Chains A and B, each alone.
Chain A
Amino acid sequence: MNPIGAIDPARCMKCGFCMSVCPVYIHDRVETHVARGRNMLIKMVAENRLPRDNAYRASLTYCLLCRRCESVCPAGLLPAEITIHARHDVVKKSRPSLLRRLVHRAMVGNRAVIAQLIGMASVLPGVSVKNGKPMRHLAEAASILSGNLSLPSGALRSFARPIPRHARPAAGVAVKGRIAIFPGCVFEFFMAEIARDMITALARAGFEVYFPQGLSCCGHAVYSDGEFKTARLMAERNIRVLSNFDRVVTGCATCGSALKGYAGWFEKNDPMHGLAADLARRSVDFTQLLHAADFKPPEPAGIGRSVTYHDPCHMRWHQGISESPRRLLQSISGISYREMEGADACCGLGGAFGLTHRQIGLRLLDEKMTAIRRSGAQTVVTACPGCLLHLKAGARRHHLPVQVLHISRLMAGPNP
């Protein structure tokens, strides 16, 4: 996965090109918070010329892991991966809290229980499991609840209507293939209507859809925190559960990035490495698959007709996907598609970043809202649960009368 040397910070040629695109640097202009500066710090720590002190640890948190800088790096470095490995190096040398370890471990196999606990806890006023050090993913949902970003009303109700485990195309439609969907924590437990919309659209496109039992959290956020051990357990479980499907479809940008990137989580000589690379070849984003299948989205109902698309970093920079969602939206009859300025600019959430570095996150969000307002769109479509929540929070903050939807809502047709 990673070209040799691409995660060696000493290969940074210090050209500073990362400074031209880094959303964090563009806002605070502090070199400690951009890849060039961080590469130098990580290199010096590795050479024992700097201590792993609090200032160093803090500097490792100032990265959205959006991977935008990779697109301009002449040395072909992967600065986000370098940062993640540096976080791992810190994790290795310090013991995470018992609670954190327990929750992470439980998320490998007992996600539903955790989700329910979070769901229950979230309705108690003043409850925060965040405590400055947010647990990730499922746990992040809890952080979001306590971090002044609320889940859409009805999120918890989705427990009441389970996601179907199996769906077929309508009778008479030729079956294009047997696929698994990987909804991920948020779309499984907090926004299950999105998983249902995905299944509806995929079946309509001619796929026989399975929602396999026993999946784990994708582990993206755990891996990003440098907790490789737990992340690998999660990846391993998912790789095994998904081993029998021709295609694995993700609708969450983050999960998609994880499934396609698992190979990089394992050493080359680990047998899991090859299995992970195989899963990467079978993994496909929801929009990619529908676009490739020449899917004709149904006539929309109940949504604003002028639509714009926000590129999640985990789609645009992690997976290189920008065309398929736009082509799909443009193919909907009765929709007028409007490109916003800086559609590929980060919304400012970046997982826990937007909560731990709220001021930077809010500045990015404010710019995104200005771009949306200028586009004149009534409906903002995206493909990432984090972006979805953050854009909704932004619309409330700016009193912007726009609907924020996952792209599957426009692919599935009117609510049944």
Chain B
Amino acid sequence: MNRFKSIIAGLSEIVGPSGVLTESTDLVAYSYDGTSNWHATPDVVVLPTTTEQVAAVMQLAYDQEIPVTVRGAGTNLSGGSIPVEGGIVLCMTRMDRILDIDAANFTATVEVGVVLNKFNQALARQNLFFPPDPQSFLAATIGGCAAENSGGPYAVKYGIFKHYLLGMQIVLPGGRILNLGGKTVKNVTGYDLTLLLCGSEGTLAVITSVTLRLLPRPETRQTILAIFDEVTTAGGAVHRIRQSGLIPAKIEMIDNWIIRRIEEMSPLGLPRAAEAILLFELDGNSAAVENESREVIRLCREADAVDVRPAKDAEEAENFWAARRAGFSAIWGNSPTVLAEDVTVPTDRMAELISTIQTISRRHDVPVVMIGHAGDGNLHPCILTDKKNAEHFHRAEQVASEIFSTALALGGVISGEHGIGLEKKKFLKLAMEPGAIELLKSIKQVFDPKGLLNPGKIWEAGP
């Protein structure tokens, strides 16, 4: 029996034959993520159902020196779950049990394959709420969110994944099972290994379950839409509202290109000339939400909004947010290749970031569409290009590079929520001091001395 066959037999023994996929079609189905330009096929896909199985797979991989790339739903936008060195894709989607919802202590323990939306549906039945909301929540797994330290529109008020992570169970390369952290909000016990794993992009250990902090579900919500004829005026409105001491749950922005696409696809009656739209969500008890809504409307008007529309009811609010979500599909529908960037700056530099990106886009004659989390300074400039057109794609990469430099010059970062993965690893040196990158590599060495876990990610090979 050759080596490959004996490895497959070994894996089948651990997870059962139905948990091992080797057909050419299966390998293709695990060769991509949510980005449009990264592909690499694994040699085998393994779908474990228990931590013990994960440990046995990791031990086998360690003994045989096979690369292992951990994957959840594969909705990430960084190339982070692409098995660039082949080997095993360890897909966690079958570990999908909610182990415990402790309403008395506002915590829950879940296996990593639980889908974020399913988790929140289960919590809603007990009037609980888990805020981090990457917009892939319909499909994204909790494990992917932990490994990517995900966030979304709720970051303005509620923060991101790491703010809710209390503990986890992991499997180290080699197969050792460890429990980290605990289930209390306060916990200062040695280095915070839980936080170290959060956002580690699957490069240090396999996370098999997490313990999360929960919040009571807000009693009511109000959505407000504000229209501006200048991006900078919209930026000014966000600044004014932030300075007033109000903390909306979400402040989202869409630009003119997206407004026009929305009006073409499913008209909401938005003025096509509007340069920017801000969408606010306020939540809490009804009296507070009512007061805050009035205040947001007043401040938007003071900041020269062309029009301010509070959603009449839940249905209209849902229409506004559906339009926001439709923005992304409009982008993908209109371009063969999209470089969806993820730069983040201090919130008061957002308007400056946007106008500089507009200049860069014009100079290189490459369209850049902007959707952003205006409330937390996280912008998604989407560069519309075509990988098959080498000359255009080259200009698009130039645009991306200049966007990163701009964000860094404004005191920001190159990734707010997508992670580095493959897509941004060549820019890491711009964003992190050499000494800090050295530390990353040393930490990796401690966890994964053979370099088998999700190889080829975050930093470039070589010194």
Q: Which residue numbers of A lie inside 8 Å of B, CB to CB?
A: 5, 10-11, 13-17, 19-20, 29-32, 37, 40-41, 44, 50-51, 53, 55-56, 58-59, 72, 74-76
Contact = CB atoms under 8 A, between A and B. Distances in A.
B139 A13 contact: no
A41 B39 CA distance: 13
Contacts of A15: 34, 75, 136, 139, 328-329
Interface in B26-56: 26, 28-36, 47
Given A14-B34, A31-B30, A41-B25, A76 B117 contact: no
A359 to B, nearest CB: 10
B28 A20 contact: no
Contacts of A11: 332-333
A72 B336 CA distance: 21
Interface of B: 21, 23-26, 28-36, 47, 73-75, 91, 93-94, 96, 113, 115, 117, 136, 138-140, 325-326, 328-329, 332-333, 336
A53 B74 CA distance: 26
Nearest to A73: B329
Of A16, A17, A31, A76, the most chain B CB neighbours within 10 A belong to A31
A299 B305 CA distance: 60
B33 to A, nearest CB: 7
A10 B333 CA distance: 10
A55 B23 CA distance: 7
- Interface on chain B toward A: helix, strand, loop, or mixed SS? loop
B139 A55 contact: no
B377 to A, nearest CB: 24
A13 B329 contact: yes
A6 to B, nearest CB: 10
19 contacts: A11-B332, A13-B36, A15-B136, A15-B329, A17-B139, A31-B26, A31-B30, A31-B74, A32-B21, A32-B25, A32-B28, A37-B29, A41-B28, A41-B29, A44-B28, A50-B25, A56-B25, A74-B329, A76-B333
B133 to A, nearest CB: 15
A76 B329 contact: yes
A386 to B, nearest CB: 27
A29 B21 CA distance: 12
Closest 6 CB pairs of A and B: A74-B329, A16-B139, A37-B29, A13-B332, A32-B29, A31-B29
B139 A30 contact: no
A30 B32 contact: no
Given A29-B47, A30-B26, A20 B332 contact: no
A78 B215 CA distance: 38
A13 B21 CA distance: 24
Contacts of B21: 30, 32
A30 B29 CA distance: 9
A11 B26 CA distance: 21
Given A13-B328, A20-B117, A29-B91, 16 more contacts: A11-B332, A13-B34, A13-B333, A14-B34, A14-B35, A14-B75, A15-B139, A16-B139, A17-B138, A29-B47, A29-B93, A31-B74, A40-B32, A41-B25, A50-B24, A76-B333
A413 to B, nearest CB: 39
Contacts of B117: 20
A40 B29 contact: yes
B34 A16 contact: yes
Contacts of B329: 13, 15, 74-76
Contacts of A32: 21, 23, 25-26, 28-29
B73 A19 contact: yes
B25 A55 contact: yes
A88 to B, nearest CB: 18
A50 B115 CA distance: 31
A10 B387 CA distance: 13
B24 A74 contact: no
A41 to B, nearest CB: 6
A74 B75 contact: no
Contacts of B139: 15-17, 19-20
Contact of A20 (B47, B96, B138, B333): B138
Nearest to A29: B93
A5 B329 CA distance: 13
Contact of A29 (B35, B94, B328): B94
A32 B26 CA distance: 5
Nearest to A21: B138
A40 B27 CA distance: 11
Nearest to A59: B25
Contacts of B47: 29-30
A40 B30 CA distance: 10
Contacts of A5: 333
Contacts of B75: 14-16
Of A10, A17, A56, A58, the most chain B CB neighbours within 10 A belong to A17
